[in-house]
Structure 1
Amino acid sequence: MSLSLTNGALNEVFETLSRHYRIMAPVRIVGGGRFSDTDNIQYGEVSTAEEIVWEEKSHFSPKEVIAPITQTLFQFHEGQLITSSVDRRKILLFMRPCDIHGLRQLDNMFLKNGDNEDFYYKRLREKVKVAMFECKTGWDSCFCVSMNTHETSDYDIACRFSESGADIHFQCNELREAFAEHGTESNFKPEFIKENQFTLKLPESTGLSAQEIRDRTIGHPLFDEYDRRCVECGRCTTSCGTCSCYSVNDVHYTENANFGERQRIWSSCIIPGFSDMAGGHSYRQRSGERLRYRLLHKMVDHKERFGDHMCVGCGRCDDRCPQYISFSNMVSKVTTALEETQHAE
């Protein structure tokens, strides 16, 4: 079933839904961009359709809704531990097809990566209803088609927005009932992008095994240039929809050191010291080594374990890097280098 709704009708639905849902979508932060007088597009709670930025790619992913940048795990009050609480409402989360695939990769890391599910991730993830943006064209940094993340049927509603309203296709009866009285029937079904502006040749196309790719990539001089270029800021990981690393800190309140809270905060394998170990030993001391590690994790290691690439081809890391380091270009260089090693045999 599909419906066509005006912005006014959408706003009426949003007002009703907000009693039971947090409606999370890309919003514009005026003047909050990476350069002066530029805006930032990131996820926030909306109450009207006009607040949703649907015609531009968000600078940050929907990951921060279910894996917040800073998350209190529990509070400690002398001898007592109190688990942190979350908003009881469900979450209607607007996202693009590539980000829906990214959500599955986060599920792998937090829910299927070992014998224990992550309680703090799971309690938010279970609240999510997915509202998919139709994405037919993409942007110049996107390579979702190469990663096979340009299409999905894993959504509750799919939306095609316009300046005056939206067409919505329903796969969730609960949401269909909420919208039903406010729209008129339509024949809308979401379409998907068929071709990006460039095609990415992946390392696996060489026919080498995951271990062979690692063996031939580690120590390769192609990463030396990134020792000079990368400034180790971590923007590539904070904008990524599938990075899941964090640090854990105990915060003691100033008034009484026996009271405080334990937090986990996003961290990054790009930042110096992330891989430091007890005794002062440090893995991957150079930035080029850390970028190599990130590339192998996204393109090789995760797929070997879970069956899918961790990278979904959204291109946000390329968009956000202040040194204009392109992850997709780095992947192409690795593939070319691997082919050269094969020809030399």
Structure 2
Amino acid sequence: MPVDPYILLLLGTVGLAALLPARGTGADVASGASTAAIAFLFFLYGARLSTREALDGLRHWRLHGTVLACTFVVFPLLGLAARGFVPSGILSDPLYQGLLFLTLVPSTIQSSIAFTSLARGNVPAAICAGSFSSLAGIVATPLLAAALLGGGGGGDGSLGAGGFSADSVTKIVLHLLVPFVAGQMLRRWVGEFVLRHRKVLGLVDRGSILLVVYTAFSQGMVEGIWHQVSPARFGGLLAVEAVLLAAMLLLTWYGAKALKFGRADRITIQFAGSKKSLAAGLPMASVLFGAQASLAVLPLMLFHQMQLMVCAVIAKRRSRDAVDPPEAVTSAVAEEITVPAGRSGTGAGTGTRSG
């Protein structure tokens, strides 16, 4: 699978921040715009998420519970185990903190649905599983970060050893929770508009994330933290992430088989349970890590591209191995389609597929 064009845009944004980092008044303006962009992103997440339809998916609670356990229990446990690579010199402590953070963020929605569709899995279940994961991640990711990251937080001290400061709680509530709840409350009035213009708003989504990345990496350049990443450690990070992804792909597939899920549900569990959301993780890292956000999101950016490439190969193989007749599959796999969370006319437990 070719490199995701959006990853190229992200890398270009990183390069721009390296050459022309925001300083002084420009940094203040960029920081304010980034804060507003994060709030707007989570407002859109709330406006898109159909709570009623997502709750309908609870009929397939075993599948969704398995995906949530993979995302917020198994992934973090593997992240904690990766601590052993720090004393050996394979990872620096800041890179390990970023690696551990990526294990705490929610699963994807768009690409999980796309790959599940290509592999002829349970697409309605993938929609609900992604919705539940995104909703849970708004609360679970900051709490897990506070509990597990210890002193590896931002330079502003927002994440200290053992828990949150009052400042970090205020940031999370104002930047993440309040906009999300506002989107949910206003969904009956703005939901149709958001769905009608989802392509345009999808561009706004991605543009906002690019702004967050530019601000974070600019701050990292000014602070001089990029001197901490040597080529050897960069290669070590890639190797560790490859092992992490392989472990999760194997655990989700064979674990779901051991739990006696059908083939279509195993496909959903594998793709929804082994992947991490760049769109959700980047804004959260900006809020939680402050000046250290650029190093915190580097492992997530690398893992995102790695999971797309590997899962595309697996999905195509699963589609060839399927017993049932071929179905039409959209170009969503290559383009990371935008499917509104919970938008499905069928229950998650029916096994019915949608294209």
TM-score (norm 1): 0.24
Greater strand proportion? 1
Q: Which has more radius of gyration?
A: 1
Question: Relative contact order, CA 8 A, sep 6+: which one is greater?
Answer: 2
TM-score (norm 2): 0.24
